[in-house]
Structures are given as C-alpha cells and as structure tokens.
Structure 1
Amino acid sequence: MTTFSVHTQDSAPEDAHEVLKKARNNFGFIPNLLGVLAEAPVAAEAYLSMIDLCRRSSMTPTERHVTWFAVNDVHECQYCMAAHTAVARLEEIPEAVIEAARNGTTYHDERLQILREFTQNVVNQRGVIPPEAVTQFLDAGFTQKHVLEIIVFVSTKVLSNYTNHIAGTPLDQEFSACEWKKPNEV
C-alpha cells in the first residue's frame, strides 16, 4: 500500500508554502487534508479556492452544510463528515441539521430534505438528472443558480473525498470529537 505524506509547513514542497500558510490562517492549523493535497500544490490551492467559492454562493450557511454533508454521505467520506461537523458547529448550524446529516435521517425542514435529495441524486446519477427532478427542485423555491452551485459543491467534495479515500488521510485531533461512520456501518 502506498503511503501519502501529510505535509507540514516545513516538509511541503516550496510552492505549497503559501497555500499552507493560508490554510493555517483560515483554520488555525493545517488540516491533514491540506497537508496531503500540498504534495500537488495546485490541488491544495484548488481546494481552498473552491471552498471559498462555495462560501460565496447564494446558499445560506445551513444550505451549504446540507449540500456538503449530502455529498460526503454518498461518498462515505469519514474525514470530511467529521471535519464539516466541526466546522458546522463553529458556524452555529442547528444541531438537528447536523445530526440528521450524520445519521441519515430525514430533515424536519422539507426544503432542506429536497436540497439533500437533489444533491445526492446529482452525485449518484453523475449529473444525469431527469427534467422532472429539476422541476421539483425548482418548485421547492430553489433556482437554476442553485443547481449550478450544487455542481460546484459536488466538484469540491470530489476533490477532497476522493483524496481522502486514496490517501487514507488521518483524522486531525481537532476533528476527532466529530468522528463519523456511516450509520449502517456502526
């Protein structure tokens, strides 16, 4: 089995130093995911840029996390589910939303449930969504802009989830209290 390095500021390639400095400024530490991505500095920079773009989307903070959680769940990414749980709590996302995402239970807010289901369909169907599913999503009060933003969110999570699966990224101590396993695997 190939072992991937989890770079620190000192061990990372020189052209990754700036992006790791940005990660430390954003998070207060360098998350292991960014340490792994630093092996290919463009990957680390892409991830930070994509997260920033997601934050600038038209979605509310809760909708952003529902979308990230939905992709993490489909991809069964233990690292990202734990990390996003910690970040969601820092951003004061309602605990009921976080727990429904982590447990795979239905959201009490029908709009959030529709957002989750649509996002998971985008992932599961690799973007080949029937027109009636798009119409149902739009009828729930979402817009075409949201559809396109979801694709950005999915792309962001493909980068991080796939990296974590391939590299076996170890969970950071800072996220350990939020460790996650898919409910059917507990």
Structure 2
Amino acid sequence: MTRIALPANDAIPAASQPVIDAMTKQLKMTPNLFRIMALSPNALNGWAALQGALAKTLDAKLRDGIALAVSQVNGCQYCLSAHSYVASNMAHIDDEEIRLNRLGKSHTPKTAAAVAFAKALMETRGKITEDDLHAVREAGFSEANIVEIIALAAQFMLTNFVNNAFDTEVDFPVVETEVV
C-alpha cells in the first residue's frame, strides 16, 4: 500500500493540473506517480520541464531502454512496470529487448552502449570509468548525447526514488524487479 495519501482529482493543486491533464490525456489514466508528484507543483513542473526537453533528445526506443536500465538498477517496480508497458505498447519494443535493456544490454550495438553506460552511471553513482566513456563514444554518441544520457538517467532516477520512498502502488501491468 502506498505510504502517502494520493490526492483525488479535485484535490490536486491547480498549479499541477496542466501536467496532470497532459499525462492523463497521453496515458488515458492518471498514474499514481503523478498524483504523488502533483502534491508539489514545483517538483512536478520541474520534472515535466526536464522530461519535455529530454523528449527531444535521442530516440524514443533509446530513451525507454535507458529508463529500463536505470529503473532496474534502482529496483523500482513501479517504474519498471510503467516503462515496460510504455516500451511495449507505445514504442513497440519486444519483450526480449525490454529484458536485455533492463540488464544494460541490447541486440543493437548502439543501444547496448547507451544502456550499459546508464547502468554503470547508476551503479557507480556517476563515477564512471574512462572505459565507460570510451565505449559510449565508440558507439557513435557525441559529447552532447552523453550529457543527454546522463540527464535522462537523472530524470528516471528522480521518479525511481519517489516511487521507492512511497512504495507507490503499481497501476500498470506489474513487472517483477527480478529479471527472468
């Protein structure tokens, strides 16, 4: 059970409502994560601004792969469930690729480099090695792309931490944190 009271639709702060309305329209539901984040319009709107800017970077499948790798390292069942749902149903990523992305791997070499980098970034708390940087550069990522991968990882880490802190009830098809 979620460890924080989820606001009903009529109790969401007015300053959070535009982001909530946009998320509800896109997903055809109001995810529990966004109900929680709506309690702080500053946090929700800050996250939304970062997400909006980063949605213009890389490609959707790669962003989803990074989300899966980061959420796996952070053991966030809510985000693993949400991102697996989005990856499968919106980005049309197959189940095997989703599983590989969670492990920091991919069938595609460029994606493999990005998700491995994101995984290493989380596991080392940002203290990656020269080899990590070399591998992602060799895969064809520019310096700007590497900054974008780091920013995406931070964005996903924020939602991982919110969900892990409050044990947010999963309102997507549940994915277990163990990779099978």
Matched, 1:111 2:110: yes
Aligned position for 2:100:
100
The one-letter amino acid paired with 2:11 is S
Aligned position for 1:60:
59
The 3 A distance-change label for structure 1 pair 38 and 130 is same
Matched, 1:182 2:177: yes
* 1:134 positional shift: 0.8
Aligned position for 1:44:
44
Question: 2: distance between equivalents of 1:21 and 1:83?
Answer: 18
The one-letter amino acid paired with 1:27 is L
Question: 1: distance between equivalents of 2:63 and 2:19?
Answer: 23
* 1:106 positional shift: 4.2
* 1:46 positional shift: 2.1
Q: TM-score, normalised by structure 1?
A: 0.86
* 1:127 positional shift: 1.7
Assess if the C-alpha contact under 8 Å between 2:104 and 2:116 holds in 1.
no
The one-letter amino acid paired with 2:66 is T
Q: TM-score, normalised by structure 2?
A: 0.88
Assess if the C-alpha contact under 8 Å between 1:9 and 1:20 holds in 2.
no
* 1:36 positional shift: 0.6
CA RMSD, 1 decimal: 2.2
* 1:124 positional shift: 1.5
Assess if the C-alpha contact under 8 Å between 2:104 and 2:115 holds in 1.
no
Farther off after superposition, 35-44 or 21-30: 21-30
The one-letter amino acid paired with 1:110 is P
Assess if the C-alpha contact under 8 Å between 2:50 and 2:155 holds in 1.
yes
Farther off after superposition, 126-135 or 79-88: 126-135
Unaligned runs of 5+ in 2: none
Unaligned runs of 5+ in 1: none
Residue 183 of structure 1 aligns to a residue whose secondary structure is: coil
The 3 A distance-change label for structure 1 pair 50 and 99 is same
Assess if the C-alpha contact under 8 Å between 2:70 and 2:156 holds in 1.
yes
Aligned position for 2:21:
21
Aligned position for 1:11:
11
**1:41-100 CA deviation, whole Å, 9 max, x = no partner?**
11122222222222111x122111111111011101100111111111232333032232
Aligned position for 1:85:
84
- Aligned residue-pair number: 179
Residue 10 of structure 1 aligns to a residue whose secondary structure is: helix
Assess if the C-alpha contact under 8 Å between 1:5 and 1:39 holds in 2.
no
The one-letter amino acid paired with 1:42 is N
The one-letter amino acid paired with 1:31 is P
The 3 A distance-change label for structure 1 pair 2 and 111 is closer
